[in-house]
Amino acid sequence: MIITKTSEEIELIRESALIVSKTLGMLASEVKPGITTLQLDALAESFIRDHGAIPGFLGLYDFPNSLCMSPNAQVVHGIPNNTPLVDGDIISIDCGALKNDFYGDHAYTFEVGEVAPEIKKLLEVTKASLYEGIREFKLGKRVGDVGYAIQKYAEDHGYGVVRELVGHGLGKKMHEDPEMPNYGRRGRGKKFIEGMVVAIEPMINMGTKRIKQLKDGWTILTADGKPSAHFEHDVALINGKPELLSTFDYVHEALGIKSDEEDEFRAKKMNL
């Protein structure tokens, strides 16, 4: 059952989502060759706690850390470790925060040093597919419309869309109804309703859509060993339209990227 939120509750989710956005922005300056994902995880945990929140993933379904850290061929749910990042890597960082009983949950795939052009392209397309999906999250549309838009965009670029892992409703639980697949058919699935909040999160592979799981019971990686990217935003349905609760502005600011990609999904301009 979809649990709709009051406008007060949506603001609380926004507060948690923005703590995640700021955490990703902080990490953007730290992601570089030589640093380990465990070091980044420790930085994030302190940062989240300093902002009056609890790391949303730590202990959730017994996950051992604050961040899911998935380099290169890892899709999602990678566990931080002592292996240093190296020049040319990509690292998908998924972060959650819990404050005032509401979760924020969003993700960005970072470049480490100088990344090959074909991998840069994978990141660009995956991020753009996220916005293709968000654009369909409005009154009158259904879950399948978002999935269709993401799938179409990614597959038109020749990439594989992961099927087994999906976006989700977001609120007092990290994973609420509805499931939000990154593939689907137009006009199918649950109808969107005013006041619902979802995490939309395409996981796009450079090669095959097929995945496998490591024996650690967590790490998901591509079956063919090619890279995978993951971008995620938290979005509320307000006045019939998608309203972003999370933002990549802090990441963009740290990386010196100028972007107006989020403007169409904001009722009012953010003040950083």
> 32 vs 92, 137, 189, 217, CA distance in Å?
13, 35, 41, 27
Nearer to Mg ion, 15 or 94 (CB): 94
* Residue ranges that bind Mg ion, judged by CB under 5 A: 94, 105, 107, 199, 232
Is the bond preceding 117 in cis, omega lying within 30 degrees of 0? no
Strand partners, 109: 92
Closest approach, Cβ 258 to Mg ion, in A, equals 26
Angle of helix 143-156 versus helix 117-135 axis, rounded to 10 = 160
Cβ–Cβ under 8 Å, residues 88 and 62: no
Nearer to Mg ion, 87 or 163 (CB): 163
Nearer to Mg ion, 154 or 174 (CB): 174
7: buried, middle or exposed (CB in 10 Å: 19+, 13-18, 0-12)? exposed
Nearer to Mg ion, 145 or 234 (CB): 234
122 is written with which tokens? 């994978």
Q: Is the dihedral of CA 71, 77, 106, 238 positive or negative?
A: positive
Nearer to Mg ion, 145 or 232 (CB): 232
